Amino acid sequence: MTYAQAACGAVERALAADARVVVLGEDVGRGGIFGQYQGLQQKFGAARVIDTPISEATIMGAAVGMALAGLRPVVEMRVVDFALCAVDEIVNQAAKARFMFGGQGRVPLVARLPIGIWSGSAAQHSQSLEAWFAHVPGLVVVAPGSPQDNCGLLATAIDCGDPVIYMEHKELWGLEEEVDAAQRVPLGKARVLQAGTDVTLVSWSRAVQVARLAAAEAKAQEISVELIDLRTIWPWDRETVLASAAKTRRLVVAHEAVQVGGFGAEIAATVAEELGVPVRRVGGARIPVGYAPPLEDEARVSAGAIARALRA
C-alpha cells in the first residue's frame, strides 16, 4: 500500500479501537489533501472526524483542550508551513502542560505536520522544520520514511501519552511497499537498512530514499556503507548510531532540512564527543526554496552530494 494508505489505516484502527480518538482539521471530511483520511468521516461520523475552519491556532488550541479533557486528538495541519500559525499552542501549551501542572494534566495528541520540499510549491510550502520542534522540551518528534513506518509509528504515536509532532514528507504519499498493519514501530528506535563497514550514513524521512542511491553509488566505488533510518528525531536512537559509528569509525548525516542548525548537527556533535571519529553533514542550502525547477533543485540534497561526503 502507499504511504498515505498506510497512515489512513493506522488512524482507522485507532478510531475503531478507542472512542477517545478523534480527528480534526481542514478537509479531513473529504479525505485530506493527500488522501490520508479517505473514507473515515463516512465510517465514523462528523463528530469524530471533524472538519474545522481555516484557523490553525483554533484547531490546535481546541485539540490541546480536548487532550487535557481526556480525548486523544489526531490534529491535521496540512503542511508544517501552515502549522507555524499554531506554534504558541504547540510550544507554550501542549509541550509544557505536563511539567507545569506536576503531571496532573497530560496532552496525548498527535500533530501531523508534513515536511519537505513539495515540487512546484515554492518557499512557503517546502520547509523541513524538525529541528525546531526537537529543540522544545516536552515534544516527541517523529519522521517516518516508509509506508511500513508510517503505519507502525502513527499507531504508536496515537497511544503515546505526550504530544507527538508527526512529520510525514509531502512527496512520500504515493510511495508503495508491502505493509504489515499489525506491526508496531517503537518510538526512539532507529532501523539499520543496510549493514556496512567503512562509514555510517544516518538519515530520515524522504532523504533516506536519496541516501539509498548514494550508498549504491559508494558501493560501486568499493565503499561499504551502513545506512540507518533514524525514524524518530526525538528521542533519537543514540545507542544504534554510536554502535555503528564505533564499528565504521566514520559518520555522515544527511537530511533535506537546511544544514545550518539542522538536527544532523546534534547527531554529529554527539558522535564526535563520544567517539572522536570524523563526521560530515549534508543538508540543504540556507536559501528559500524557489518556485522555478532550477531554483528548487538548488535547495535539494542530491545523491551525488551525499556520495561525495561518503568518499571524503
- Phi and psi dihedrals of 81, rounded to 5? -60, -40
Average pLDDT in the 21-37 region? 96
Cβ atoms within 10 Å, residue 122:
15
Provide the CATH topology of domain 191-311. Answer: Rossmann fold (3.40.50)
Q: Which residues of 96-117 are buried (b: 16+ CB within 10 A; e: fewer)?
A: bbbeeeeeeebbbbbbbbbbbb
pLDDT at 183: 95
- From the list 109, 113, 62, the residue with the least C-alpha distance to 84 is 113
Query: In the structure, what pLDDT confidence band is assigned to residue 286 with cuts at 50, 70 and 90?
Result: very high
pLDDT of amino acid 174: 97
Active site residues: 56, 125
Model pLDDT, residue 189: 98
Please state the domain extents for the chain: 3-166, 191-311
Q: What is the pLDDT of residue 198?
A: 98
pLDDT of residue 39: 98
For residue 273, the model assigns a pLDDT of 98
Tell me the average pLDDT across 205-222: 98
| Amino acid at position 307, single letter | A
What pLDDT, in 10s, does the model give residues 92-123? 999 999 999 999 999 999 999 999 999 999 99
Amino acid at site 22: V
pLDDT at residue 205, as a whole number:
98
pLDDT value, residue 50: 98
24 — pLDDT class (breaks 50, 70, 90): very high
3-166 CATH: 3.40.50.970
Q: What is the DSSP string of 230-256?
A: --EEES--HHHHHHHHHHHS-EEEEEE
| Percent above pLDDT 70 for the chain | 100
- Which residues lie below 8 Å from residue 273, measured CB to CB, with a gap of 6+? none
Closest to 205 measured CA to CA, from 261, 265, 128, 268: 128
Look up residue 299 and give its amino acid.
Answer: A
pLDDT, mean over the chain: 97
**94 vs 164: CA distance, rounded Å:** 10
Confidence of residue 284 (pLDDT cuts 50, 70, 90): very high
pLDDT of amino acid 238: 98
3-166 and 191-311 in the same fold: yes
